[in-house]
């Protein structure tokens, strides 16, 4: 059974640009969550989608947005990138919210 696939693995962007990250969950998992991980703050919850609807949202500015498609694949977008957005962005899928399967993440560096 294929795991959670995140693309791209690494990304370098310039301040002010925008970026889109992609996540393909495990087949049959309808819940997809996104997290930002930094050394200082740990794993910070961004948002969770279930059946194409945003069900939960963390405390991030409106520059961070996401969506989920009918096949459960999800994308997150960050507009007007700032240096502080440099982080590992993790996607996780779940069947019943009793445990997540994470992807390997996208390492975003903003210069």
Partner 1 sequence: TQLLEQSPQFLSIQEGENLTVYCNSSSVFSSLQWYRQEPGEGPVLLVTVVTGGEVKKLKRLTFQFGDARKDSSLHITAAQPGDTGLYLCAGALGRDDKIIFGKGTRLHILP
The residues binding partner 1 (CB under 8 A) are: 4, 33, 35, 41-43, 45, 48, 55-56, 90, 92, 97-105
Closer by beta carbon to partner 1, 103 or else 110: 103
Closer by beta carbon to partner 1, 14 or else 41: 41
Residue corresponding to tokens 């693995």: 9
How far is 79 from 56, CA to CA, in rounded Å? 20
Write down the least CB distance from residue 5 to partner 1, Å. 11
How far is 83 from 14, CA to CA, in rounded Å? 8
Write down the least CB distance from residue 87 to partner 1, Å. 13
- DSSP conformation class of 16: T
How far is 93 from 16, CA to CA, in rounded Å? 30
Write down the least CB distance from residue 110 to partner 1, Å. 19
Closer by beta carbon to partner 1, 37 or else 79: 37
Provide the 10 A C-beta neighbour count for residue 27. 10
């Amino acid at each position: 059974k294929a795991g959670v696939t995140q693309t791209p693995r690494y990304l370098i962007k310039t301040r002010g640009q925008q970026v889109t990250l992609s996540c393909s969950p495990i087949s049959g998992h309808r819940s997809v969550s996104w997290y930002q991980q930094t050394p200082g703050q740990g794993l910070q919850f961004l948002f969770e989608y279930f059946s194409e609807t945003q069900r939960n949202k963390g405390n991030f500015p409106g520059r961070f947005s996401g969506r989920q498609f009918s096949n459960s694949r999800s994308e997150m977008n960050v507009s007007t990138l700032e240096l502080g957005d440099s982080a590992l962005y993790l996607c996780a899928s779940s069947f019943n919210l009793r445990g997540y399967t994470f992807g390997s993440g996208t390492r975003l560096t903003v210069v």
